[in-house]
A and B are shown apart, each in its own frame.
Chain A
């Protein structure tokens, strides 16, 4: 069941493992490496077919300079932040409350409501494309950051509620009962007893939702158009000019766009792994 430590296998197997691992790793990372290398190549390298070779000249400053100063990229990055941060705050705030309600109170229909939150996760989001687009259009939210944020909050709250409810269920119920005996109001129990205990869950969930939303491409394309509202994932395609795709700038842009989630991951690695396992086991 559990993988045996590699030290316990035969020497031959160990050697094979140690030689094959870097090779597999290299193959696995090859596309990413290609993007990274392309981001410092001049455009001409693409046209002359120099896809994998040494760059004919190093254009890192030039390419990244263009991304930051001669394109709408800063605007798109700002949009991404303005979409991701409110979504994280909104979804996490709502789901701590729903999680509290569903995890602590026993009332009729509790399980049914909980299942409805979960069921939302099983709807393939692609089938929502047309109705959601029409909805935002009618509400006058099409092509606005607000529309995107509201939809993301609504859609992510399902998963977050599952996560939070299970976490709150795992808390010792005696704490809440003790507070009730002391005559603490329910809202103060939530604020002063439960919320401090939920800190690790909130941190883990925030990191998770941040990467989800930052990397979202589908809804960005469906619900927004143009530099005034699109996040960076969709904005990268703006390097496609009328006739030509500027692959070197798209590569540089992709690297820039990928940095915040990567940074987030390294800074919050502990929470991230906790987040992935937290919801799964219970």
Chain B
């Protein structure tokens, strides 16, 4: 049955191909390098590539899966020396070094096609450098506040809609003897998430990106306002104590045991929380509310991407593969709960019947007009991200040191962005 359906599709595809002579049958080799070395994502990718192979039987596809960590160092080598036709990577600042070095192919032509231009608008910004697009996304996930609905209900609270109700909720939770938020800043990046949201809500997406790009001073009054907002939460006792000693996973028990009512985190936190016994009635999600009503809402949604190396040999087939990856059906398939369990990048895709994926998909497709950030340690250069996240952690423990911390970050900015 599926066979015949596929056959019909193939026939249909052939007939359309015949109609447009520019798209001749794909031949030759297509070398694909992947870093999806964990078993589940690996199987997903291999299945997807097998489907592509079936649609293009004359193409000789060769897939290489490299260990995720090793890939990060090897990519520098293979993009210059022994380039595949397609390679996966990350969006925004993480792809900038390769774009600047001329190692990624400009694929703005793909983004000009109606199918992609209309359906992938939410991630276009993340793929754009110097006004051109350098790849396509294939999956992403949302960030936001995951909270214990049962605790909110007990205290008679509801999801906050603005900064005042956010703080009022928090005060009520603190008064009941709990912490509003659990967080583990031992590995720093979790504090980066808080900074992302507080700064994007206080000063807006564009300012946030300018700061990540080193165009704004860390001692700017607007940055100080972000930290002043943050300090209100710290002084209130919003965060759990001794958070600098926990990893993000070690901070989960506070939420499970009900000592903390919420967690600003990525969607990957849902799986362990469910396994620990929290039901969907107890666990809920809300978008980080507006602080400054004059700036548009923007979200963190780290995006994984496919690129064509500039030195690729079979760029025509590579482009067709990229079109295939972002098409609505493939996006629905690879991001469903059985596969990646994340969000499809194509607005015409279907999302699994999962409460959190649905909320995230809706939020990112329609309620993030400001833009989509990639997360602080992907948006800022690695060195600046490290120094600044150390500063965020110190600030969360000793808020009185703020002036010294900002002076240090400003010195680092002068040095790093030369």
Contact = CB atoms under 8 A, between A and B. Distances in A.
A122 interface: no
B279 interface: no
B156 interface: no
B257 A46 contact: no
Interface size on A, as a range, is 10 to 19
A225 B67 contact: yes
Interface string B248-287: 0100111011000000001010011101110000000000
Nearest to A143: B70
B275 A49 contact: no
A74 to B, nearest CB: 14
Given A43-B275, A44-B277, A47-B273, A226 B70 contact: yes
A70 B70 contact: no
Contact of B272 (A70, A225, A227, A244): A244
Contacts of B273: 47
B38 A241 contact: yes
B67 A47 contact: no
A126 interface: no
Contacts of A227: 67
A36 B252 CA distance: 22
A243 interface: yes
Contact of A48 (B41, B68, B256): B256
Interface string A224-238: 011100000000000
A52 to B, nearest CB: 12
A242 B38 contact: yes
Interface in A18-35: none
A48 B257 contact: yes
A48 B277 contact: yes
27 contacts: A44-B275, A44-B277, A46-B249, A46-B252, A47-B252, A47-B253, A47-B256, A47-B272, A47-B275, A48-B256, A48-B257, A48-B277, A49-B253, A49-B256, A225-B67, A225-B69, A225-B70, A226-B66, A226-B67, A227-B67, A242-B41, A243-B266, A244-B249, A244-B268, A244-B272, A245-B249, A247-B249
Given A44-B272, A44-B277, A46-B249, 8 more contacts: A42-B275, A43-B275, A46-B272, A48-B276, A226-B70, A242-B38, A243-B266, A245-B247
Interface of B: 38-39, 41, 66-70, 247, 249, 252-254, 256-257, 266, 268, 271-273, 275-277
The 7 closest A-B pairs by CB, nearest first: A49-B253, A47-B276, A243-B268, A48-B276, A47-B272, A225-B70, A44-B275
Interface of A: 42-44, 46-49, 70, 225-227, 241-245, 247
